[in-house]
Structure 1
Amino acid sequence: MIPSAFTAPGRFYRGNLHTHSNLSDGGLEPAEVCRRYKAEGYDFIALTDHFIGMYKYPLADTLPFRDDSFTTILGAELHSGAMENGELWHILAVGLPADFAPSHSPAFTPVEGQESGPEIAERARQAGAFVAVAHPQWSGMSLNDARSIEAAHAVEIYNHGCAMGCDRADGAFYADLLLSEGRDLTLIATDDAHFTEPDHFGGWVMVKSEALTPEALLEALKRGDFYSSQGPELRHIDVTKQTVTVATSAASSVIVQGHGSAAVAVHGESLSRAEVPLMRFYNSPWLRVTVIDRAGKRAWSNPMPNPGYAGT
């Protein structure tokens, strides 16, 4: 079995799905944010300003910044309702229509009469958006909270802004437990860039698409035709009942993770190919791959079914 990101037609495009401008709490104007990402070699971004009343519910018009080599997807970071810790939800929605209706969210504090987090996530998905659980570790999210966002396509496995600002970048704990409960989820790495600290150009998605258009990219994201990275390239993955074979840019570790404690690593110098045995994964219905290079930078595959799972 070969994951669809490596069989789908087209090429890989590099993009950031979580970005802020001075329309909310970012430090730069939308045009400058787009210029910097394009200059850094990105093919697309989603400018996802905080969709709350204190910023007049911005849904940034980035259409003027598109050209033949760079595009944008409309989006926002949605906020409505309280999590179990009493704080406001943060939900990433990429591919929103320009007329997406605001919730009653005047500021970063929950108020009575708001939609819940699950409700606004479902409304965004019904409107056509790719929906992700944003920075669950940073948010102090409970597992019950994570379970409640049934509309989510993805979980942020890495958030660069949270890595730089508070060392709470990880979403793997939540993603792995949800996968083991049967949820169909993908994993995204993002910047959450504000350009007020070194929170940019640190995590991205590589999306396999036939065209560099917002529509094609959005559909590829929803299909799971992508992987996430801080630097390493995933070039191919092939899964059998016995092994996962990974082709990658130079790496020092190739790790397969699964249900519970199931994980096996292959280590070496300048690895470009690794075969990881799957004996430990007989009880895991799902698998995912992490590649780590000598600088400690990671790349993450999306989860995939385990053809050797004993329960099938």
Structure 2
Amino acid sequence: MIDTFSAPGRFWRGNLHTHSTRSDGVLPPEEVCRRYAAEGYDFMALTDHFVGRYGYPITDTRAYRSNRFTTLLGAELHSGALVNGEVWHILAVGLPDDFAPSHSPEFKPVANQETGPEIAARAVAAGAFVAVAHPQWSGLTLADARSLTAAHAVEIYNHGCHMGCDRGDGFGIADLLLSEGRRLSLIATDDAHFSEPDHFGGWVMVKAEENSPEALLAALKTGLFYSSQGPEIRALHLEDGAVEVECSAASAVIVLGHGSAGVAVHGHSMTRARVTLDPRCVASPWLRVTVVDAAGKRAWSNPIWKG
């Protein structure tokens, strides 16, 4: 994952989780795309709820692409029961528009439908980038998360869940899976419905040679991105028992790993930081970096695997 910063291309800013009037959002698809483009995003995925109530939509946003803004087709998939009895929420970006519906008439499990892991595996086989959506909001257990073996990523920040119910964090599940050896990436998203201030709060910065659906999707699957609420990560190097970070002005740079492993450097308007690893971080098979600015906004690297 550390190759993100040395890979060819440039960073493109995008949102991977958004809803429109094709499901339970309040704005039509063209207006959602217009607002993201006007806000300076390079791309977005409209991921309406893939349930029978809305006609199993994979919203076609190709007409709203331009020479500076593109879209990825996708959906939020729902099928099968979590341990708590609620239905799965699985983000699938890069779905073909003929992806076959599941038997999921509503936002609740029903008999004779695919399980969450089964529909996730089918989405991956169809070419999608698949993520565990808002695990804290869903009440996802570790057993649930372990069962979803086809996922590429975990949604570690969901702005809509943060603003709407203070359950936007997915790091608890993500870090446990990483510590079990699951090589997952970490995404921040909006989950925007535009019914509250749930938009423009979390995004991915994807490294690719062009702003095309094909190049972005390939980079997402490879993990060539970082996530942010505002700060930029410009370079990241692991060497000689330390992590060196170049970033936009930061007040803290934190390195985290397995279990309680974690060490931080604090300062004022830091644009470079060298974080010397303590023994717990040295022993951890993976590390990730958080950059915090003076306003408390964060950026998160994908995991760096040592072997």
- Superposition TM-score tier, normalisation by shorter sequence: over 0.9
Does the aligned pair in 2 maintain the 1:241–1:306 contact within 8 Å? no
| 1:111 corresponds to | 110
| 1:310 corresponds to | none
Matches within 5 A, 1:255-274: 255-274=254-273
Amino acid in the other structure paired with 1:262: A
Q: Distance in 1 between matches of 2:128 and 2:234?
A: 28
Measured against aligned partners, the alpha-carbon deviations of 1:195-219 in whole angstroms (never above 9, x if no partner) come to: 0000000000000000110000000
Q: Which moved more, 1:4-13 or 1:76-85?
A: 4-13
Does the aligned pair in 2 maintain the 1:255–1:289 contact within 8 Å? yes
| 1:142 corresponds to | 141
TM-score (norm 2): 0.99
| 2:285 corresponds to | 285
Unaligned runs of 5+ in 1: 308-312
| 2:162 corresponds to | 163
Tell me the number of residue pairs that the alignment of Structure 1 and Structure 2 aligns.
306
| 1:306 corresponds to | 306
What percentage of residue pairs aligned between the two structures are identical?
Answer: 71
Measured against aligned partners, the alpha-carbon deviations of 1:258-297 in whole angstroms (never above 9, x if no partner) come to: 0000000000000111111113313210000000101110
1:240 positional shift: 1.3
Does the aligned pair in 1 maintain the 2:263–2:278 contact within 8 Å? no
Measured against aligned partners, the alpha-carbon deviations of 1:116-146 in whole angstroms (never above 9, x if no partner) come to: 0000000000000000000000000100001
Q: Distance in 2 between matches of 1:189 and 1:282?
A: 27
1:241 positional shift: 4.1
Q: Distance in 2 between matches of 1:238 and 1:193?
A: 34
Q: Distance in 2 between matches of 1:7 and 1:235?
A: 10
| 1:14 corresponds to | 13
Q: Does 1:70 align with 2:50?
A: no
Q: Distance in 2 between matches of 1:94 and 1:290?
A: 25
> What SS does the aligned partner of 1:269 have?
strand
| 1:30 corresponds to | 29
TM-score (norm 1): 0.97
> What SS does the aligned partner of 2:146 have?
helix
Q: Distance in 2 between matches of 1:264 and 1:229?
A: 20
Q: Distance in 2 between matches of 1:277 and 1:152?
A: 32
| 2:58 corresponds to | 59
1:109 positional shift: 1.0
1:79 positional shift: 0.1
RMSD of aligned Cα (Å): 0.8
1:305 positional shift: 1.4
> What SS does the aligned partner of 2:30 have?
helix
| 1:177 corresponds to | 176
| 1:275 corresponds to | 274
Matches within 5 A, 1:231-242: 231-242=230-241
Q: Distance in 2 between matches of 1:183 and 1:97?
A: 26
Amino acid in the other structure paired with 1:303: P
Q: Which moved more, 1:285-294 or 1:272-281?
A: 272-281
Q: Distance in 2 between matches of 1:143 and 1:26?
A: 30
Unaligned runs of 5+ in 2: none
Q: Distance in 1 between matches of 2:133 and 2:111?
A: 23
Does the aligned pair in 2 maintain the 1:286–1:303 contact within 8 Å? yes
> What SS does the aligned partner of 1:14 have?
strand
| 1:246 corresponds to | 245
Q: Distance in 2 between matches of 1:194 and 1:241?
A: 46
Q: Distance in 1 between matches of 2:240 and 2:213?
A: 37
| 1:4 corresponds to | 3
| 2:202 corresponds to | 203
Q: Distance in 2 between matches of 1:7 and 1:282?
A: 23
| 1:186 corresponds to | 185
Measured against aligned partners, the alpha-carbon deviations of 1:171-222 in whole angstroms (never above 9, x if no partner) come to: 1111100000000100000000000000000000000000110000000000
Amino acid in the other structure paired with 1:265: A
Does the aligned pair in 2 maintain the 1:241–1:278 contact within 8 Å? no
Q: Distance in 1 between matches of 2:101 and 2:240?
A: 48
1:80 positional shift: 0.1
Q: Distance in 1 between matches of 2:29 and 2:92?
A: 18
Moved over 2 A (4+): none
> What SS does the aligned partner of 2:67 have?
coil
Q: Distance in 1 between matches of 2:222 and 2:13?
A: 16
